[in-house]
Chain A
């Protein structure tokens, strides 16, 4: 049986919301005999990840090359830089979402920084074309960082050089971002 909440609309008229629990069919099916334990499944899953990770460098290098191409197109036509933003986001999200799983956490970190930069520009209602001089070099710095990490095949947390690279990235992004509103 459902319970109803009474909530008030702006004009004072009362609207009702129902809160109810549908049957949990997944629970019934997942409870069938012959299941696996969490440990068994995680172990099996980690083997899958290890297997896929063996060829991830090729995938990542292709994505980095694509990002580099997009960044170059932006520099060649800075007034139209924002037209390339969706593609830059798409490839950036690929790298952010996959690299750490495959053993390249610093690539995820750099891609994350790029995505955050693009999101922060959008939140500040600033187009890349509005401030091309700081914005496009900031994008390019991310590209170079990704190239470097993949060229050196940096897995794991990296060393002092890589940390300095990440710190430099943060500094450049901070300078390129407009003052946050509100």
Chain B
């Protein structure tokens, strides 16, 4: 019997999530922030968690370890999260160009969020975070998988999040075909819009006018 959960608004949440078999990589230059993210991830049930202090260290680690999901900060040296993401998406040496990447950053100036979008992050979460906001992002990546776009100029998640219902012209955008081997989404999915005001402000609202390629 579904139990209404006040913590997540009026959405009836029935889904459970088992993160035990998902390996997570956390790349953040702050040791304290990494301890927070690792602690939260463990409390959610992740059992395999790797850490790196910058993008290059993360890439080196991924040559040795299998990673299913990445959390990456924006500003890092010598390689920042933007370069790391770009490398994962387009480098011939990438272990997985479709790897889900959640950028968790305090640098939420619009140009930074746009840059994150344009290099191909899957989700962007503004710091300061909470247990809830981080968990919502994990579940969003799992439940609301985004289509991928591959073109001469871009490889990454489809940056178009909105369909303009008022648009009357011919629909010329490619419509992603769903994967056939994924289980159907259970009811009561956490909506991708369960965002704080700061997150809404930080996330770029794509009006569909920018082409994916």
Q: A residues bordering B, Cβ < 8 Å? A: 1-7, 15-39, 41-42, 44-49, 51-52, 59, 89-90, 93-94, 96-101, 108, 115-116, 119
Chain B residues with CB under 8 Å of A100's CB are 128
Bound-complex Cα distance A89 to B108 (A):
13
Chain B residues with CB under 8 Å of A108's CB are 128
Q: Which of B56-64, B85-93, B137-145, B161-169 contacts A (4 or more CB under 8 A)?
A: B137-145
Bound-complex Cα distance A35 to B179 (A):
24
For A52, give the chain B residue with the smallest CB separation.
B36
Chain A residues with CB under 8 Å of B7's CB are 38-39, 42
Bound-complex Cα distance A46 to B174 (A):
42
| Residue contact A3 to B143, C-beta cutoff 8 Å | no
Q: A7-B213, A52-B35 are in contact. Are A17 and B150 (CB under 8 A)?
A: yes
| Residue contact A21 to B18, C-beta cutoff 8 Å | no
Bound-complex Cα distance A2 to B148 (A):
10
| Residue contact A36 to B158, C-beta cutoff 8 Å | no
4 closest Cβ pairs, A-B complex: A45-B131, A97-B106, A97-B127, A35-B16
For A107, give the chain B residue with the smallest CB separation.
B128
Give which listed residue, A20, A23, A48, A52, contacts B177 with CB less than 8 A: A20
Q: B residues bordering A, Cβ < 8 Å? A: 5, 7-8, 13, 15-22, 29-30, 32-33, 35-36, 39-40, 42-45, 68-69, 75, 98, 100, 105-107, 109, 127-132, 134-135, 139, 141-143, 145, 147-152, 154, 158, 172-179, 181-183, 190, 211-213
Bound-complex Cα distance A9 to B151 (A):
12
| Residue contact B100 to A101, C-beta cutoff 8 Å | no
Supply 14 A–B pairs (Cβ within 8 Å), ascending by A: A2-B177, A22-B145, A22-B148, A26-B68, A27-B145, A38-B5, A42-B135, A45-B130, A46-B130, A52-B36, A94-B30, A96-B128, A97-B129, A101-B130
Q: A90-B75, A94-B33, A108-B128 are in contact. Are A22 and B17 (CB under 8 A)?
A: no
| Residue contact B40 to A21, C-beta cutoff 8 Å | no
4 extra interchain contacts, Cβ-Cβ under 8 A, other than A19-B176, A94-B32?
A5-B211, A21-B147, A42-B7, A99-B128
Chain B residues with CB under 8 Å of A37's CB are 5, 13, 15-16
